[in-house]
Structure 1
């Protein structure tokens, strides 16, 4: 008997294995059988309709979520713009403070201290805490004056005299006229006297 059950089981398995590929082929390709295809189409239509219904139900929620996201995004953008503007103002204030310090230190040796402030990298003299390094500025100003000595103040030695037009022959009343006619008349009188 045990042999009979085994034989029957083997026959059933072989029968199932023969029908299984046919069933799988039908399941895998429902379009080969028109009735199965129609059932598959109906199934897909119902499924599609249920998805459309769910999508319509969820549409207002999606719209609200999008509005909230946009509102949050615009708030973040506004805050980012404010932060950027504040950082720019702070950087400008630091540059102005450093430029003032450079000009103050350059005033002793430079003819125009603004030249020194324009030639140096002002951001290099400020640390993360906003403290200005005056020693580094002095060293760089000395180096800059060596490279561009013509930017320095002129020596305060004896000054060259400036001409004073009120002195000399014009100051004692013997001033000659600058009128060409008077000059020509004077030349003619001198020429007639000499003859």
Structure 2
């Protein structure tokens, strides 16, 4: 019976899409267990020597964007969900644990433009940044921004519209009012 299920057109298309994606990004992309679901306009960009590794059961909704540039490695654990119009962009490295969810319109970016010389266009001054690490069982709600060098522990909930620019300990609920609020989960 399992063999017959594999012969269904939608199942064949699901695996064929992954094989083509792997072939296109040979040596730069890995998908654990061939369980990557991409909606129509989800994009994966891997530049130069960069790499992206997806765990089992990864689901990227429409309009999502996962990018690795400048030799960065993006490593995403098992059971990962990324909602519409969200982005993960790495130049220094981003690590996301198992059982994580990202809400709509969220941005995780490990770098920023250098802007020290007012006589030189910002786009020509390069980047500065640091690796981002997100633990296991983290729920990042909609319209969140997570910036360079941040480390987020396990079992964390980040509320909608929060700007995260400093480390968050495990077992926390985090949200913004006018300043970042961190509370222990009880």
TM (normalized to structure 1)? Answer: 0.21
Larger Cα-atom Rg: 1
- Structure with the larger helix share: 1
The normalised TM-score by structure 2 is 0.22
Higher strand share: 2
